[in-house]
Amino acid sequence: MTRATTHAAGEVVLEARGLSVHFGGLRALSDLDLEVRHGEVLGVVGPNGAGKSTLFNALAGALRPTTGRILLHGVEVTGKRADQRARLGISRTFQTVRPFVDETLVRNVAVAALATGTGRAAAIEEAHHLLEQVGLHDKAEQLASSLGHGERKRLELARAFALRPSVLMLDEVMAGLNPTEVTEVVELVRDLCRQTDIDLLIIEHLLSAVRSLAQRVIVLDAGVVLAEGAPAEVFEDPRVVEAYLGAKYAAS
Ligand SMILES: Nc1ncnc2c1ncn2[C@@H]1O[C@H](COP(=O)(O)OP(=O)(O)O)[C@@H](O)[C@H]1O
Ligand SMILES: [Mg+2]
């Protein structure tokens, strides 16, 4: 492992400056600035089409920004590929969960641990430990294809944490979960964060989950930051409530 693992609370871990992504004439993101600080969970919310997934893709290196810079621990990574950024410490989950369905759970997680340079035996041990933490240990030797939707989310979290990133970006991990499962996954994410040095950037439609997890939130709309601050303040902001949250998030 080449990356540093100890950082001071409040230190900027991931930073975007003047980030824009245009798809032809469509400005999916316009001149966005963002900072993830060590020891905090940053939430990103906004209506469909606001640019949330585009932001994740640009930060993760899955697409090249039209303008702007991305820095990890102050080092520019804008020109790096997704796999290079993953090795440097930026990881993400996908909105659509995609485990290796023909592999066992333990192998699914161990592959991620192996990618950090951990030896085989240690990777398997780590995989068992993480499966226990996410409550899937009794299914460790089953194929991932046998899992239900909520269980796949848990597996995805175990895989994401096994990568031991500096910053982990979670793209709507609560989507499709029932209220009980949401409460469990919120607790799980909080525990995993507490036990590791990993900082989180979470995209989430479910505002109650963002409220429980994030210390700071940014509201995106049409590719620009509409509001930023503590969830309690931002979610009360009349502009946010009226224009973007009221009808669309009534169920949250
Ligand atoms: N690969 C792409 N090509 C063209 N347009 C895209 C592409 N990806 C996203 N968009 C458009 O960019 C805007 C932002 O999309 P997205 O980032 O997926 O929003 P969100 O995740 O907030 O729902 C939308 O108008 C979407 O249609
Ligand atoms: Mg999206």
The answer to the question of residue 158 being in a domain is no
pLDDT band at 95 (very low <50, low <70, confident <90, very high): low
Distance 48 CA to ligand 2 centre (A): 7
The answer to whether residue 155 is domain-embedded is no
Looking at residue 96, its pLDDT comes to: 59
Question: Percent of the chain scored above 90 by pLDDT?
Answer: 63
Give the model's confidence band at 97: pLDDT under 50 very low, under 70 low, under 90 confident, else very high: low
Residue 133 domain-assigned? Answer: no
Ligand 1 within 6 A of 205 CB? Answer: no
Record the pTM.
0.88
Beta carbon of 101 within 6 Å of any ligand 1 atom? no
In this predicted structure, what is the pLDDT of residue 3? 46
pLDDT level of residue 234 (50, 70, 90 thresholds): very high
Q: Which residues contact 134 (CB under 8 A, 6 or more apart)?
A: 154, 155, 157, 158, 188
* Domain of residue 26, residue span: 12-102+168-245
Strands across the sheet with 12-23, in order? 26-37, 12-23, 67-72, 75-76
Three-class SS of 143-173 = EHHHCCHHHHHHHHHHHHHHCCCCEEEEECC
**Which of 22, 23, 63, 248 best tests ligand 1's pocket when mutated (most atoms within 8 Å of CB)?**
23
For residue 163, being part of any structural domain is answered with no
Residue 78 in any domain: the answer is: yes
Q: Is residue 214 part of a domain?
A: yes
Whether 121 is covered by a domain: the verdict is no
Q: Within a domain: residue 95?
A: yes
Q: How many domains does the chain divide into? A: 1
50 lines ligand 1 (CB under 6 A): yes
Average of per-residue pLDDT values in the chain: 88
Residue 36: give its domain's CATH number. 3.40.50.300
For position 206, what pLDDT does the model report? 84
